[in-house]
Amino acid sequence: MAAALGVAAVPAEATATTTTKATACPTGWGSLDKARSAATTESVTNVRTGRHACFDRMVVDVPGAGTRDLGYSVRYVNRLHQDGSGNHIAVGGGAVLEVRVTAPAYDPDTGKPTYPVVAGQRLKDVNLTGYRTFRDARFAGSFEGDTQIGLGVRARLPFRVAVTADRVVIDVAHNWTGAR
């Protein structure tokens, strides 16, 4: 009889009206260079990534640095060149963000690596499978107190950078419009 009246059989729990509020993605970040002058002798210990509804995120952990003494430079480059040697480091993706954090990836007193990855290799424990924007992440090295990373992204997309307690956070939007 329900079919004759044009009424579909629907489970009782699905008949309640639900309103889903769409996530509003931030816009206006831009793709120009972003930098903050500061320096610390605390060391990079980890780099990690995460997926969000509107952007992909990279976090560079520098325990003990706080927020005041942690600086960075993030910019799009045509090719990533390692500090010191000038060697080219291939980074996959349609565009490359050079991420510099003003903290060494070694203990300044002993020279022992605190984030042990060889220049040119993928970042340790970072798997970008399933990311909408990130394509590749390579360690470029740590030279004269700066740590350099190449972040390959799908295309030249807007990004923002923030410093929070003991970390630098880089968010790269999934698109220019803010649409999910």
Binned at pLDDT 50, 70 and 90, residue 21 comes out as low
How high is the pLDDT of residue 167? 97
Q: What value does the mean pLDDT of the chain take?
A: 88
Residue 2 clears pLDDT 90, i.e. is over it: no
Residue 90 clears pLDDT 50, i.e. is over it: yes
How high is the pLDDT of residue 178? 81
Per the CB < 8 A criterion, the answer to whether 48 and 124 are in contact is no
Residue 120 clears pLDDT 70, i.e. is over it: yes
How high is the pLDDT of residue 23? 66
- Global pTM reads 0.85
Structure-block tokens of residue 25: 């993605």
Q: What angle do CA 87, 171, 179 make, to 5 degrees?
A: 125
Domains of the chain (ranges, CATH numbers): 30-173 (2.60.40.3500)
Helix (H, G, I), strand (E, B) or coil at 14: helix
Residue 11 clears pLDDT 60, i.e. is over it: no
How high is the pLDDT of residue 84? 85
Percent of the chain with pLDDT over 90: 78
